[in-house]
Amino acid sequence: MNVTVFGTGYVGLVQGAVLADVGHHVICVDVDDAKVERLKKGEVPIYEPGLEPLVKDNYAAGRLEFTSDAAAGVKHGQVQFIAVGTPPDEDGSADLQYVLAVAETIAEHMERDQIIIDKSTVPVGTADKVRDKVDAILEARGRKDLRFDVVSNPEFLKEGSAVSDCQRPDRIIIGTSSKQTEDVMRELYAPFSRQFDKMIVMDVRSAELTKYAANCMLATKISFMNEMANLAERLGADIEMVRQGIGSDPRIGYHFIYPGVGYGGSCFPKDVQALIRAADAIDFDAKVLKAVEARNNDQKTTLFQKIDRHYQGHLAGKTFALWGLAFKPNTDDMREAPSRVLMEALWEAGAKVQAYDPEAMEEAQRLYGSRDDLSLCGTKEAALRGADALVIVTEWQSFRAPDFELIKQQLSEPLVFDGRNMFEPKRMAIKGFTYLSVGR
Ligand code: NAD
């Protein structure tokens, strides 16, 4: 099929490349000319395992193209994906300006019947807004003869494993009430639904809400565990034992119940907030979601509080080695990352940071490059040099078995604050470290 994807971010670029890889002819459109130029040169602007070869191979094969020419994009596709950002508005609700701008572009240039697929995460009722927008423009153009449908097809990929998630989705949610549209969607996704039928077809509003419900459920699990970790710390229990104890119940399961320093990234914080605002707008008090958000905001400050308590408020002049800047491993994304809350609090208190992350160094440079109280170090070992303590914020695989002797030699005292419970407290004590982790 000829497919057009608007937006070449984590979702649009990965989805476009994966669809091209099974043989569809995909054109990706972005308003960011510089990004399009980089992509045309074979440079992939984000880090995702497996993405670069996929983009390069399919681009070379002519199945994947990039353009900032929206008219050419609309002309190409039998289906038009909207995969642009839906950032939080001033009050936390989802800002739909980019989604509606794409709807406008499609309506202005379409010359044949179209299926518009909304892949961005959008509040319930957005498909109706897209439909109204397209309708109004077609009417103004005198092209009411053109027919179109708006499908909700939310994306569930995880940053860090986006390519494999898209290639082997757990489920494909299709929100449409039209049999004809459903058939086209089945054809589009048939290569990904061979093992068993992964398509779950429902009405458009349910599909829109499914995405928020999924992210809010996952955020709830994290905030719940962080609440238990705070309790465990105060009650003299070990949250890691509690985690294993409850995870063994198949109704609870081991997934997504790790305590830490709060969830970040471009999705959970904004989606929880957007659903709270959507509930507020219809006078419904989303009590659980509000608590999830409040716990998370607090949790992001806990590592700083531990450090501050340890030094009894005397942080001015201290230097901290910080391992992990990305909001989670295997990504370079620092949006809403707990590392940012921590670093900003440390700087505010007069401390310095020497940071290392396997993938997010460029992003950290872009965000904080001008600060003289931040040194971005080329290796995790370099970040330790002359620091007063080590702080671990992201659980990268390469941090799991460090050279503890070297850590001791490099730090002014053997002190580790671990926001991800990467090590055994008993072993750390035997090695001679003061080790402060989460919930134990
Ligand atoms: P992103 O910010 O990485 O990328 C969005 C892209 O859209 C940018 O390149 C931007 O230049 C482009 N864009 C903006 N307006 C445009 C227009 N009018 N025409 C063409 N391109 C335009 O965003 P993302 O992380 O890919 O997320 C996109 C959507 O998918 C969001 O709604 C998000 O909530 C959702 N989502 C994200 C993830 C994730 O892990 N990142 C997962 C599932 C769903």
Residue 401 lies in a domain: yes
Nearest CA to ligand 1 atom 1: 9
The span from the CA of 411 to the CA of 323, in Å, is: 14
The verdict on the CB of residue 27 being under 6 Å from ligand 1 is: no
Terminal alpha carbon distance of the chain: 54
* Structure confidence by residue, pLDDT tens digits, 109-153: 999 999 999 999 999 999 999 999 999 999 999 999 999 999 999
Q: Which residue numbers in the chain have pLDDT < 70?
A: none
The verdict on the CB of residue 237 being under 6 Å from ligand 1 is: no
Q: Do the Cβ atoms of 380 and 398 come closer than 8 Å?
A: yes
- In this prediction the ipTM stands at 0.99
Judge if 294 and 310 occupy the same domain. no
The verdict on the CB of residue 157 being under 6 Å from ligand 1 is: yes
By annotation, the residues acting in catalysis are: 267
CA quadruple 19, 39, 265, 205: dihedral, nearest 10: -40
Binding-site positions read 30, 35, 86, 121, 156-159, 211, 256-260, 264, 270, 328, 335
The verdict on the CB of residue 71 being under 6 Å from ligand 1 is: no
Residue 336 lies in a domain: yes
Tokens for 400, please give them: 């799991």
Q: What is the CATH number of the domain that holds 229?
A: 1.10.1040.10
Judge if 14 and 162 occupy the same domain. yes
Judge if 194 and 217 occupy the same domain. no
Percent of the chain with pLDDT over 90: 99
Question: What total number of domains does the chain contain?
Answer: 3
Task: Output the CA–CA distances (angstroms, integers) from residue 438 to 323, 365, 408, in the order listed.
Answer: 16, 28, 21
Nearest CA to ligand 1 atom 3: 9
The verdict on the CB of residue 29 being under 6 Å from ligand 1 is: yes
Residue ending a domain, among 174, 202, 230, is 202
The verdict on the CB of residue 155 being under 6 Å from ligand 1 is: yes
Residue 25 lies in a domain: yes
pLDDT of residue 107: 98
**Contacts for 62 with CB less than 8 Å, ≥ 6 apart:** none
Residue 279 lies in a domain: yes
The 3-state secondary structure of 236-290 reads: CCCHHHHHHHHHCCCCCCCCCCCCCCCCCCCCHHHHHHHHHHHHHHCCCCCHHHH
Judge if 238 and 342 occupy the same domain. no
Q: What is the CATH number of the domain that holds 405?
A: 3.40.50.720
Judge if 326 and 383 occupy the same domain. yes
The verdict on the CB of residue 85 being under 6 Å from ligand 1 is: yes
Nearest CA to ligand 1 atom 38: 11
Nearest CA to ligand 1 atom 25: 10
Residue with token string 């003289």: 372
Nearest CA to ligand 1 atom 11: 32
Centroid of ligand 1 to alpha carbon of 11 (angstroms): 6
The span from the CA of 414 to the CA of 215, in Å, is: 38
Q: List the domain range (segments joined by +) for residue 36.
A: 2-202
The span from the CA of 303 to the CA of 286, in Å, is: 28
Residue 33 lies in a domain: yes
Binding-site positions for NAD(+) read 30, 35, 86, 121, 159, 270, 335
Residue 68 lies in a domain: yes
pLDDT of residue 22: 98
Centroid of ligand 1 to alpha carbon of 181 (angstroms): 24
Centroid of ligand 1 to alpha carbon of 380 (angstroms): 31
Residue ending a domain, among 281, 298, 315, is 298
Judge if 260 and 123 occupy the same domain. no
Judge if 27 and 156 occupy the same domain. yes
Judge if 33 and 111 occupy the same domain. yes
Residue 413 lies in a domain: yes
Judge if 270 and 191 occupy the same domain. no
Residue ending a domain, among 272, 298, 324, is 298
The verdict on the CB of residue 96 being under 6 Å from ligand 1 is: no
Centroid of ligand 1 to alpha carbon of 139 (angstroms): 28
The verdict on the CB of residue 214 being under 6 Å from ligand 1 is: no
pLDDT of residue 194: 87
Judge if 229 and 188 occupy the same domain. no
Residue with token string 């926001």: 419
Residue 207 lies in a domain: no
Judge if 218 and 163 occupy the same domain. no
**Best residue among 76, 155, 332 to mutate for probing ligand 1, ranked by most atoms within 8 Å of CB:** 155
Binding-site positions for substrate read 156-159, 211, 256-260, 264, 328
Judge if 182 and 290 occupy the same domain. no
